[in-house]
Chain A
Amino acid sequence: MGQRKNVPGSFLDKELVQTIGAAFFLKQWGDYNVAVWDTAGDERYTGLSSFYCRNAGAAILAFDLSSVSSYESLWARFLPLLDSADPDCVKIVVGTKMDLLTGDSREVTPEEAKRFAREINSTVDPSKFTRDPYFETSSLTGYNVNEVFEFIFQLCLPMSGDTKKKDREVWLI
């Protein structure tokens, strides 16, 4: 939350910096230009984040696996921001910093996170999901990061038939 997703490989390869306001990049996926926004987690940017979430087709809600407070703030602070998003907005919950987990530093179990992920996507047709919209990742090693994006793109961007270029936005919190 609030920090930059530093993704080696196909997505991002930038230095880890504090997000100011919001960061933005374009990603080609098939025929689509996908706009990915990274909104700031800092509380003072809350008003702006809601603005940047407008008409979002999908959102990634990221929290620190070793911090239960960051997990709770998803529900408390960040979920309301998505009110301005598309009603069908798919919300993906992502636990981060997998690489830093040692035996007892984990504060959030996969089960509760999965349950939370299913709950917040109640407006979305559950048959669309091939799996729970919950991932555990490490941006340091890049573990599972591409899978998150692949999952979102496959879910939101119909590949067949519609060959017209179409901009949808994907949001990352």
Chain B
Amino acid sequence: MSIKAFELVPAIERITLMSEKAKTQIGCIEVCGKNLYIGTTNCFVVHYKVEEKMSTSGKVVFNTEKQGHKYLAIKKPIVALKAASALNRILVLCDGTLTLLNMFDLEPIVGGAKVKGVNYFCVNESPSRNNPFSVEICVALKKKQLQLYTVTEDRMIHVRDFSIPEVALSLTLDGAFVCVALSSQYCMVNCDSTHVQDLFPYDSEHTKPLVKRISKEEFLLSGPNALGMFVTSDGISERPPLQWSENLLDVSYVHPYIIAMNDEFITIHSILDQQQKQAIPFQGGTFLGNFDGRIFIASTREIYSLVPVAWEKQVQALLADKRVKEALDLARNANKFGLSRDKFLRIFRRIQQQAGFIQFSQQHFDEALELFKNGEVDVREVVSLYPKLLPSISNFTRCVPPLHEIADVNQLCRGDESMLALYKNFLRMYLEEIRGTRDGHGYKQEIDIALLKLYAEVNSPELIPLIVVDTGCDLKDCVEVLEKFHRYHALGLLYKYHEENEKALIIWTRLADGHYKDEAFPGLEFVVEYLANLNDHELVWKYVDWALEKDPELAVQIFTERPESEPPTERFRPDMVIDYLHRFPKTVIAYLEYLVFQKKLEKEKYHTHLAVLYLDSVLQLMTTNNVKKEHLDQARSKLRHMLQISNLYRVQLILGKAKETEMFAECAILYGKLEEHDKALRILVHKLKDYGAAENYCLVNSQGREQNLRKRLFHILLSVYLDPAFERKDTLVAPAMALLNSNVAEFDTSKVLQLLPENWSVGLLSQFLTRAVRKSLNYCRMTRVECMMARGENLQVKQTCIELQKDPVPITDDRMCSVCNRAFNDPTFVCYPNGVVTHTHCAKNRQVCPVTGRLFSTKKS
């Protein structure tokens, strides 16, 4: 896979020399800052200033200006140039002699700074000594020897020598290690130990010896068969070799690319995977070098620069080839290229978006989803790919320059329905995920409308929650869609959401009447509930009739289930409602029940009305035949319950009616309400023979009232039991005894004794009597105890009083009130238990000392 990582840009089109001789050819170059030096084959050193500029079209251009030149006057080619900017010097190798020139005027430095018999030299790229004003160099002599020098402004100080097995042709010095190309092999020299380690053989006739530094103590060598071999200072390799083409001329390295030049091409390999990434046709190259990260290439007449293509461009090129993974990898690693984090993220997000659309167009939905989310793409960009999903009012136009080349999903699917479904499914997932998150912020309407359209089409259960809860769907687009797909219930809900209640009701009445079909519609209950909660009362009344006709019992909920918070209005005055409901008797009962039991309205009218209605329904049941007993019982118990708990209805009215029929239980309750307990109890005992109910009656009617009433009621009951006038009184002895012995009943014992028939044996009454006596005795004793305790308390209080008063309180002229500090003029004063004496009017609180704030207990502790 190729990448366009570099671009070849001309730097100096044609070197010009004063002599303009045709023979002038470039031998070597050196770049140091803005200074570019050319060593020619005919012994000139030429100095240029080079400035790199960005042209208006975004391309890099070089402005060059010749500064000067120097002819070294020996007619031999210049072999190598090295700048030592700290010393303002350049090192020149020409005709086997290494000399120094001034960096600016190119004048030779006189004073013995010279080494002769030199084959090649190199500068230490990681010097061990840190004197900035000296440079370490290693020189390969024409004999089998290497020499180390320290170079200063005007001197080359010899440091040491190393013997090597053969003559060195090329070398690189890094730290304490020199990697040397000899005539038949490469070797590694350790400057500290002088140990020479053989690396591997090569043939210097077929292979140009090249030694380049890659990183600290790692070198790249040109091996046999055009292999690029990596070697560490330990003499081993930690990277696989890479394969170049034949006739290699020069090599250079700029992370992460290795640039190699042969007679036809410049090739670029990645050091990461050893694969070739780019090839640029280039003929006649002579020199290639990396100068502080800038690559310059020389042919015989021209100089070019290999400018790295901006990573954005590389990424865009990869994206154009749909190589998403590589593009993203490259972009991620581009983080280091000196952009501010914000700026980088902005660019990276756009790349992610573009990548997302590529994945999208290839149906890689998971990846696309991830990229859209991470890239924070504008939702509308995605939605706009689906025809008719954006709101019709949306004036969205796609981003310029475009993020993708997709017209719409139909274009991607080419009529494949199942694929279209996948695409729609994807959009649904995507929108659901971003709905309500930061990404979806500001596009609620677009998201919700698109979702609604998608849901409506597939009849998703998500449709209704979408509409009901905080939806961004407007009416304009959605009504049409919902109608088209027959999602009438959802349509009703949408109207409701937008408070178009009348339209909503039209939809729902049609659904309830069966004109429309939609299985999502829950039925009439829903409409009734809606009406019950609707605060537009005029509208409610419009539909009350319809609802009552459909199902009166359900429809009454419109009135009974109204929200608690709703203020009472004229339209819903109970009287009006009752009048209105007249046609539907059952609904009136339900409504009155609501008024009486739930709203607890204390109006005689409603209570009586309800009681009468209950009574009517009981009477009606009684007169009709074949009525099940439980129905009747149920109706009667409702009536009794009503009669019992309410005190507001007109008792006489009901009683009159109740007496006409044999409704004894009801009559008993009604007599109870009239305080005619004797009558009530007689009915219970004689007519109903329900003794339990009679006892209960006594308890219920005396509840929450004075003790004596209870006693009286039980007494009445007992006397009913023992009534000598009743012909079957014998049958009542047992309940009478039970009552006497009952734990709940309370009696005035002496009165009971008077009432009891004389012929009853004591044995029969023993239980009652024992209890009565015990109770009486207990009462007597308890009273005594109380009496004694009261007396004791009284004595204690007296004692305290005496103790407090026994000391005299002298009031003299100079005794001042402790509160106001004035003299006492009145004969009265207040003395607190702690001795504080004040005026009576100064003692605001008798329990709290006004001076110390001490609290005197009102009780004896």
Q: Which residues of A contact B (CB under 8 A)?
A: 20-24, 35, 44-45, 47-48, 50-52, 54-55, 169
Given contact pairs A21-B225, A21-B240, a sample of 12 additional A-B residue pairs in the complex whose CB atoms are under 8 Å apart: A20-B243, A21-B223, A21-B227, A21-B229, A23-B240, A24-B237, A48-B200, A48-B223, A48-B224, A48-B229, A48-B241, A54-B235
Contacts of B241 in A (CB 8 A): 20-22, 48
Contacts of B239 in A (CB 8 A): 24
Q: By the criterion CB–CB under 8 Å, are B229 and A47 in contact?
A: no
Q: By the criterion CB–CB under 8 Å, are A55 and B236 in contact?
A: yes
A57 to chain B, nearest CB (A): 12
10 closest Cβ contacts across the A-B interface? Answer: A21-B241, A51-B200, A24-B240, A47-B201, A21-B227, A47-B200, A20-B243, A54-B236, A23-B240, A48-B200
CA distance A21 to B226 in the complex (A): 10
Report if A44-B225 is in contact (Cβ < 8 Å); known contacts: A20-B243, A21-B243. Answer: yes
A139 to chain B, nearest CB (A): 19
Q: By the criterion CB–CB under 8 Å, are A22 and B224 in contact?
A: no
Contacts of A50 in B (CB 8 A): 200
Report if A44-B224 is in contact (Cβ < 8 Å); known contacts: A21-B241, A22-B241, A24-B239. Answer: yes
| B199 touches A (CB below 8 Å) | yes
Q: By the criterion CB–CB under 8 Å, are A45 and B237 in contact?
A: no
Q: By the criterion CB–CB under 8 Å, are A20 and B227 in contact?
A: yes
A56 to chain B, nearest CB (A): 9
CA distance A83 to B201 in the complex (A): 16
B217 to chain A, nearest CB (A): 16
Contacts of A23 in B (CB 8 A): 240
> 6 pairs across A/B with beta carbons < 8 Å?
A21-B225, A22-B241, A24-B237, A47-B202, A50-B200, A51-B229
CA distance A4 to B398 in the complex (A): 52
CA distance A35 to B229 in the complex (A): 17
- In the complex, the chain B residue whose C-beta lies closest to that of A38 is B240
CA distance A76 to B697 in the complex (A): 123
CA distance A72 to B426 in the complex (A): 63
Q: By the criterion CB–CB under 8 Å, are A51 and B237 in contact?
A: yes
Contacts of B227 in A (CB 8 A): 20-21, 48
Other-chain contact of A22, B199, B201, B202, B240 (Cβ < 8 Å): B240
- In the complex, the chain B residue whose C-beta lies closest to that of A52 is B237
B655 to chain A, nearest CB (A): 100
Chain B 205-245 against A: per-residue CB contact (8 Å), 1 yes, 0 no?
00000000000000000011101010000111111110100
CA distance A52 to B201 in the complex (A): 12
Contacts of A55 in B (CB 8 A): 234, 236
Q: By the criterion CB–CB under 8 Å, are B225 and A45 in contact?
A: yes
- In the complex, the chain B residue whose C-beta lies closest to that of A24 is B240
Looking at A47, A52, A55, the one whose CB has the most chain B CB atoms below 10 A away is: A47
CA distance A44 to B225 in the complex (A): 8
CA distance A24 to B237 in the complex (A): 10
Contacts of A45 in B (CB 8 A): 224-225
Contacts of B236 in A (CB 8 A): 52, 54-55, 169
CA distance A169 to B234 in the complex (A): 13
CA distance A23 to B242 in the complex (A): 10
CA distance A100 to B239 in the complex (A): 33
CA distance A35 to B234 in the complex (A): 15
CA distance A45 to B229 in the complex (A): 12
- In the complex, the chain A residue whose C-beta lies closest to that of B230 is A24
A46 to chain B, nearest CB (A): 9
- In the complex, the chain B residue whose C-beta lies closest to that of A19 is B240
A23 to chain B, nearest CB (A): 5
A62 to chain B, nearest CB (A): 18
B811 to chain A, nearest CB (A): 98
- In the complex, the chain B residue whose C-beta lies closest to that of A26 is B238
Contacts of A24 in B (CB 8 A): 237, 239-240
Chain B 312-346 against A: per-residue CB contact (8 Å), 1 yes, 0 no?
00000000000000000000000000000000000
Q: By the criterion CB–CB under 8 Å, are A47 and B237 in contact?
A: no
Looking at B201, B234, B235, B241, the one whose CB has the most chain A CB atoms below 10 A away is: B241
Contacts of B240 in A (CB 8 A): 21-24
Contacts of A35 in B (CB 8 A): 238
Contacts of A48 in B (CB 8 A): 200, 223-224, 227, 229, 241
Contacts of A52 in B (CB 8 A): 236-237
B165 to chain A, nearest CB (A): 16
Contacts of B229 in A (CB 8 A): 21, 48, 51
Chain B 714-744 against A: per-residue CB contact (8 Å), 1 yes, 0 no?
0000000000000000000000000000000
A142 to chain B, nearest CB (A): 23
Contacts of A54 in B (CB 8 A): 235-236
B780 to chain A, nearest CB (A): 96
CA distance A54 to B186 in the complex (A): 15
- In the complex, the chain A residue whose C-beta lies closest to that of B241 is A21
Contacts of A51 in B (CB 8 A): 199-200, 229, 237
CA distance A55 to B200 in the complex (A): 14
CB under 8 Å from chain A, chain B span 222-270: 223-225, 227, 229, 234-241, 243
A77 to chain B, nearest CB (A): 16
CA distance A55 to B370 in the complex (A): 47
Contacts of B234 in A (CB 8 A): 55
CA distance A47 to B241 in the complex (A): 14
B233 to chain A, nearest CB (A): 13
A89 to chain B, nearest CB (A): 14
CA distance A10 to B109 in the complex (A): 64
Chain B 181-212 against A: per-residue CB contact (8 Å), 1 yes, 0 no?
00000000000000000011110000000000
- In the complex, the chain A residue whose C-beta lies closest to that of B199 is A51
- In the complex, the chain B residue whose C-beta lies closest to that of A56 is B236
Contacts of B243 in A (CB 8 A): 20-21
Looking at A35, A44, A52, A169, the one whose CB has the most chain B CB atoms below 10 A away is: A52
CA distance A48 to B221 in the complex (A): 12
- In the complex, the chain A residue whose C-beta lies closest to that of B239 is A24
CA distance A44 to B51 in the complex (A): 47
CA distance A47 to B225 in the complex (A): 11
- In the complex, the chain A residue whose C-beta lies closest to that of B203 is A47
Looking at A20, A21, A22, the one whose CB has the most chain B CB atoms below 10 A away is: A21
Contacts of B237 in A (CB 8 A): 22, 24, 51-52
Contacts of A47 in B (CB 8 A): 200-202, 224
A104 to chain B, nearest CB (A): 38
A43 to chain B, nearest CB (A): 11
CA distance A35 to B237 in the complex (A): 11
CA distance A35 to B238 in the complex (A): 9
Chain B 429-449 against A: per-residue CB contact (8 Å), 1 yes, 0 no?
000000000000000000000
B275 to chain A, nearest CB (A): 12
CA distance A131 to B36 in the complex (A): 66
- In the complex, the chain B residue whose C-beta lies closest to that of A45 is B225
CA distance A55 to B239 in the complex (A): 15
CA distance A105 to B568 in the complex (A): 105
Contacts of B202 in A (CB 8 A): 47
CA distance A44 to B241 in the complex (A): 15
CA distance A169 to B238 in the complex (A): 10
CA distance A35 to B236 in the complex (A): 12
Contacts of A21 in B (CB 8 A): 223, 225, 227, 229, 240-241, 243
A151 to chain B, nearest CB (A): 24
A37 to chain B, nearest CB (A): 8
- In the complex, the chain B residue whose C-beta lies closest to that of A25 is B240
Contacts of B224 in A (CB 8 A): 44-45, 47-48
CA distance A60 to B238 in the complex (A): 19
CA distance A80 to B5 in the complex (A): 43
A49 to chain B, nearest CB (A): 9
B704 to chain A, nearest CB (A): 86
CA distance A52 to B224 in the complex (A): 14
A17 to chain B, nearest CB (A): 12
A111 to chain B, nearest CB (A): 36
Contacts of B200 in A (CB 8 A): 47-48, 50-51
Contacts of B238 in A (CB 8 A): 35
Contacts of A22 in B (CB 8 A): 237, 240-241
- In the complex, the chain B residue whose C-beta lies closest to that of A51 is B200
- In the complex, the chain A residue whose C-beta lies closest to that of B201 is A47
CA distance A20 to B226 in the complex (A): 11
